[in-house]
Chain A
Amino acid sequence: MSRIVVLGAGISGHVAATHLRRKLSKEHTVTVVSPNSNYQWVPSNIWVGIGRMEPKDIIFPLEPLYKKKGIEFKQAKVVTFHPEGDTEIDKPFVKAEYVAGEAKGTTEKVTYDYLINATGPKLAFEMTEGLKPATNKAYSVCTYSHATEAWHALDQLIQQMKQGKKAKILIGTGHAKSTCQGAAFEYILNVEQELNRHGVRDMAELTWIANEPQLGDFGMDGMLLSYGSNIMKSSELVEMVFEDRGIKWIIGAGVNKIEDGIAHYETLDGEFHTESYDFAMLIPAFSGHGFKAYDKNDQDITEKLFKGFMIVDADYTPRPYEEWSVQDWPETYQNPSYANIFAPGIAFAPPHAISKPRVSKNGTPISPAPPRTGMPSGITAKLVADNIIDTIKKKKPSLHHKGSMGNMGAACIASSGYGITKGSGISITTFPIVPDFNKYPDTYGRKLGKTFGEIGLAGHWLKLALHHAFLYKAKMRPFWWLIPE
Chain B
Amino acid sequence: MTRRISKRKRFVMMNPIIQFFKFIYLSLKILVVVAGGHGGTREVK
Interface residues of A (CB under 8 A from B): 232, 236, 239-241, 243-244, 326-327, 329, 331, 375, 379, 383, 402-404, 406-411, 421-422, 424, 427, 429, 431, 436, 450, 452, 454-459, 461-462, 465, 484-485
Partner of B26, one of A329, A450, A454: A454
Q: Max chain B CB contacts within 10 Å: which of A406, A455, A458? A: A458
**Given A327-B42, A409-B34, A462-B26, A456 contacting B3 (CB threshold 8 A):** no
* Given A456-B19, A458-B20, A402 contacting B40 (CB threshold 8 A): yes
B5 lies within 8 A of A240 (CB): yes
Q: A240-B4, A427-B30, A431-B33 are in contact. Are A403 and B19 (CB under 8 A)?
A: no
Q: Which residues of B contact A422 (CB under 8 A)?
A: 14
Could you tell me the dominant secondary structure of chain B's interface residues?
Answer: helix
A329 and B41 contact, CB distance less than 8 A: yes
**Assuming the A-B contacts A421-B16, A454-B22, are A239 and B2 also in contact, with contact meaning beta carbons closer than 8 angstroms in the complex?**
yes
Complex contacts, A455 vs chain B, CB 8 Å: 5, 13
Question: Closest CB of chain A to B34's CB: distance in Å?
Answer: 5
9 contacts between A and B (CB under 8 A): A327-B42, A331-B42, A404-B41, A407-B39, A407-B40, A409-B36, A454-B22, A454-B26, A458-B20
Sorting the interface of chain B by its residue count into under 10, 10 to 19, 20 to 34 or 35 or more gives 20 to 34
Q: In the assembly, what is the distance between CA of A407 and CA of B42, in Å? A: 10
CB distance from B28 to the nearest CB of A (A): 11
| Chain B window 11-29, contacts with chain A (Cβ cutoff 8 Å), 1 for yes, 0 for no | 0111110011011011101
| Distance of A379 from chain B, by nearest CB (Å) | 6
Contact of B38 with A by CB under 8 A? yes
9 nearest CB pairs, A to B: A456-B13, A402-B40, A408-B38, A458-B22, A458-B23, A403-B38, A457-B19, A409-B33, A331-B40
Q: Within the complex, what minimum Cβ distance (angstroms) separates B26 from chain A?
A: 5
Contact A484 B34 (CB under 8 A): yes
Chain A, Cβ-Cβ closest to B35: A484
Inside 8 A of A232's CB, which chain B residues have their CB? 3
Contact in complex: A456, B22 (CB < 8 Å) = yes
Contact A331 B41 (CB under 8 A): yes
Cβ-defined contact, A429 with B13, below 8 A:
no
